[in-house]
């Protein structure tokens, strides 16, 4: 796909930029720091990291070839310390092995649809603009939303809408789709959005925004296998994280956040027997949670950047096992006294 360089349509404002940099700073300041941007997009977060930390090496991943081309253009002046790779974020182990990088010190996930994908109408992600039903983040491979809508069995479509879109009117929406596709193939976002609106009761359409939102989200997740990739990506990122390294994850809907929360919580608690008074060596938590639950954006952030409205941010630090070992060698550590979470660092003034 041909790409004309320059700033894409719309204004790209990185979500929670200052807060992300504040949380990642201790990892970015480690000797020989490698920072992974798992969702490079247009490169806004990555550019800020490279500008403020002149010794950091960036590994930028994105499955969208168009986004990669824009990011490569934007980050050209840092080419000597960047590796921009066409890959899905769960492919991190392969990417690091090929680059000969044993560990990372900082990482950022900014999940969901990128600014480029939303602003370029022909990608088919936006229900408010007419476009071909595509929704592939990587347009070089995979099934399109058109193929899903027109080819999947009704029962499978209902499952996808319920599971990935949390759409309680899934049977009604799917019935409308099946009736329409029996007459003519559904090929445009506008036609699909119209069918969804007609299928959902009028009373339910009055609240909750555009009635097509949940179905479009479900189709996008199915087309890109987003949740399956995320299930593998977060543990892989944590496995690669060096001691004192930090990871920040921003999610925009509850299904993503549940996966992230579970993956982080598993490593932030003890694996030892719960009835012992002290922590056994090797059973303590390997992560320190840096946020209390998930952090939400401030009103000022949402006003400046409306796309931050639904974001939930979680951050962790890899516990230094050598420090942990020294503690164990000095004296038994009471499980009651052992910290599980550091309080959040003070938010910088916006």
Residue pair 21/44 in contact (Cβ under 8 Å)? The answer is: no
The residue to which tokens 């720091």 are assigned? 33
Segment holding 307, helix H or strand E: none
Report which DSSP code applies to 191: H
Is residue 315 within 8 A of residue 248, CB to CB? The reply is yes
Closest residue by Cα to residue 174 from 149, 138, 211, 207: 149
**CA-to-CA distance for 119 and 129, rounded, in angstroms?**
10
Cα distances (angstroms) measured from residue 101 to each of 86, 93, 237, 238, 286: 17, 10, 13, 15, 21
Tell me if 117 is assigned to a ligand binding site. Answer: yes
Q: Is 80 annotated as a binding residue?
A: no
How many other CB atoms are there within 10 angstroms of residue 346's CB atom? 7
Is 110 known as a binding-site position? yes
DSSP states of 199-254: HS-HHHHTSSS-TTHHHHHHHHHHHHTHHHHHHHHHHHHHHHEEEEEEEEEEESSH
Query: In the sheet that 82-86 helps form, which strands lie side by side, from edge to edge?
Result: 82-86, 57-62, 34-37, 104-110, 241-251, 312-318, 287-289
Q: Which of 292, 339, 285, 340 is nearest to 313 (CA)?
A: 292
For residues 166 and 254, is the Cβ–Cβ distance under 8 A? yes
Residue 124 φ/ψ region, left for φ over 0, alpha for ψ in the -120 to 50 degree band, beta for the rest: left
Token pair of 124 as six digits: 């088919």
105 appears as a binding residue in the annotation: no
Closest CA to 261 of 291, 217, 296, 220: 291
Site of tokens 């598993």: 266
Q: Would you list which residues are annotated within the binding site? A: 43-45, 62, 89, 110, 117
Q: Would you list which residues are annotated within the binding site for S-adenosyl-L-methionine? A: 43-45, 62, 89, 110, 117
């Amino acid at each position: 796909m041909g790409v004309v360089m320059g700033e894409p349509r719309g204004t790209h404002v990185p979500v929670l930029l200052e807060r992300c940099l504040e949380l990642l700073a201790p990892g970015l300041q480690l000797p020989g720091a490698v920072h992974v941007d798992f969702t490079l997009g247009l490169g806004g977060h990555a550019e800020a990291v490279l500008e403020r930390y002149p010794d950091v090496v960036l590994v930028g991943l994105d499955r969208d070839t168009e986004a990669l081309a824009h990011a490569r253009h934007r980050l050209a002046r840092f080419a000597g310390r960047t590796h921009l790779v066409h890959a899905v974020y769960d492919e991190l182990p392969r990417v690091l092995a090929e680059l000969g990088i044993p560990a990372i010190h900082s990482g950022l996930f900014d999940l969901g649809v990128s600014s480029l994908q939303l602003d370029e109408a022909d990608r088919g992600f936006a229900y408010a603009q007419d476009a071909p039903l595509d929704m592939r983040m990587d347009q070089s491979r995979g099934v399109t939303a058109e193929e899903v809508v027109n080819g999947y069995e009704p029962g499978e479509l209902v499952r996808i809408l319920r599971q990935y879109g949390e759409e309680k009117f899934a049977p009604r929406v799917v019935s409308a789709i099946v009736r329409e596709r029996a007459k003519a193939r559904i090929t445009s976002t506008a036609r699909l959005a119209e069918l969804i609106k007609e299928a959902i009761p009028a009373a339910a359409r009055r609240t909750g925004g555009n009635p097509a939102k949940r179905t479009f989200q479900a189709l996008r997740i199915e087309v890109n296998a987003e949740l399956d990739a995320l299930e593998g990506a977060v543990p892989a990122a944590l496995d690669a994280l060096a001691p004192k390294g930090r990871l920040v994850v921003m999610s925009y809907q509850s299904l993503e956040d549940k996966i992230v929360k579970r993956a982080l919580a598993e490593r932030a608690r003890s694996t030892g027997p719960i009835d012992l008074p002290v922590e056994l060596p090797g059973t303590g938590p390997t992560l320190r949670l840096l946020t209390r639950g998930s952090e939400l954006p401030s009103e000022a952030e949402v006003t400046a950047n409306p796309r931050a409205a639904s974001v939930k941010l979680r951050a962790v630090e890899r516990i230094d096992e050598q420090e942990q070992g020294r503690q164990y060698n000095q004296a038994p550590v009471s499980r009651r006294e052992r910290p599980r979470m550091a309080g959040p660092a003070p938010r910088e003034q916006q």
